Chains A and B, each alone.
Chain A
């Protein structure tokens, strides 16, 4: 467990010190939540209707901001070679990095969302559902994102291509995540929590293996 924790704590410290961490993502998230009302108008009824969806899209986009550096930074400065030779397996490495990404980005975004939901006049139960859906769904964003970050780790301008690859795959997360808030708003059970949980579990369980495979392919290049 020590190598795993060593890598996890290093990545968390790096995200705090070298920018691209929670602060950047939160500011971006807040900006999206500010711009949308400015774009669609101040009608609170309309904002309450679109709010949970907008916040979900904003959170997903904010989580992608620093994703391209997840493996690329370590690949470029040679750290990834040393990590690959350590007793920690590449699967373990991938899991540590996914967890670090979620702790440094996904979790702060989740905790910040109730504050931003004020802009959209969401009801308290809707805010609860939205926050819960982000808590369940953001690990999937990190997990799916890690697969594509590892695939593009050798691409020089990976930051440009990465959102193009990740966002289509995040369609189910956004749909089911925002669907949880819809369930509360309409009062009709629609099964969104179950689907979101299933997707999130599946993604987080599979991702370390696919990510490790992609890292292996890239180290061989």
Chain B
């Protein structure tokens, strides 16, 4: 179980440009951190650094897993649920093919075993949470509002629907540390409400969220300004 993510004296550098320096923060299980800043302030680069893509120019990021400290970037990446700028969808794949591929790629447990795993890992209390724990693909699509589009190739999806599919994939991968880049982008009011609910739920189950956003995450969350 992931318990905390700590950044110490972190410097973010992209190419030859130093974007941010001396950053320090800690996110604990169940917490959400919002990254704020103008365009080009390094929000995306910081997320990429935490995900392990971008090496830190200075300082370090440590993830604590059951008391074990993980500082290897690629190992850290195995805990990351990623929602980037791009939706990472293939035009010719249907919604369900898309999810099936990522499910297999991420070794996501199949429907039956997930229910057991999730309820074992964290006590299921409310009905809403119980439904979320049943990460069956059909349930998942219903939850995310894409049930009718299941067999539709992604090229026919609207921008908002593409974003919802990306969210469904985020849930499917079952990663404890969510890194979200502008999660509210391209979504309508209902969609934004969904994102806020999912984040709250993820935190409620002991997950961690770091999101680059202009808007409230819908939690009494902490804010880091870049």
Contacts and interface: CB of A to CB of B under 8 A. Distances in A.
Q: Do A and B touch, yes or no (CB under 8 Å, in the complex)? A: yes
Interface string B165-183: 0000100000100000000
B105 A77 contact: no
B91 interface: yes
A88 B173 CA distance: 13
Interface in B183-205: none
Interface in B97-113: 101-102, 104-107
B91 A220 contact: no
A7 B105 contact: yes
Contacts of A78: 84-88
Interface in B8-49: 14-15, 48
B78 A3 contact: no
B106 A81 contact: no
Contacts of A76: 86
A86 B101 CA distance: 12
B54 interface: yes
A41 interface: no
Nearest to A18: B92
What's the interface size class on A, roughly?
A: 20 to 34
Contacts of A194: none
Contacts of B104: 2-3, 5-6
A85 interface: yes
Contacts of A3: 104-107
Contact of B77 (A7, A18, A84, A220): A84
Nearest to B92: A17
Contacts, number: 72
Contacts of B48: 219-220
A14 interface: yes
A87 B78 contact: yes
Interface in B60-80: 77-78, 80
B55 interface: yes
B88 A79 contact: yes
Contacts of A83: 105
Nearest to B169: A82
A19 to B, nearest CB: 10
A84 B101 contact: no
Nearest to A5: B104
Interface in A21-80: 76-79
B51 interface: yes
Nearest to B14: A221
Contact of B82 (A2, A7, A10, A82): A82
A79 B90 contact: yes
Contacts of B89: 77
B208 to A, nearest CB: 15
A87 B89 CA distance: 19
Given A6-B101, A10-B101, A85-B82, A219 B87 contact: no
A131 to B, nearest CB: 32
Contact of A14 (B90, B102, B107): B90
Contacts of A85: 51-52, 77-78, 80, 82, 175
Nearest to B102: A82
Task: Identify the 9 closest CB pairs spanning chains A and B, nearest first.
Answer: A78-B86, A6-B104, A78-B88, A17-B92, A79-B88, A219-B53, A6-B105, A86-B105, A85-B77
26 contacts: A2-B107, A3-B104, A3-B105, A6-B104, A7-B105, A10-B90, A13-B93, A14-B92, A14-B93, A77-B87, A77-B90, A78-B86, A78-B88, A81-B51, A81-B53, A81-B88, A82-B105, A82-B169, A84-B77, A85-B51, A86-B106, A87-B78, A87-B106, A87-B107, A219-B53, A220-B48
Given A18-B90, A78-B88, 9 more contacts: A3-B105, A14-B90, A18-B92, A77-B88, A78-B84, A81-B84, A82-B102, A83-B105, A220-B54
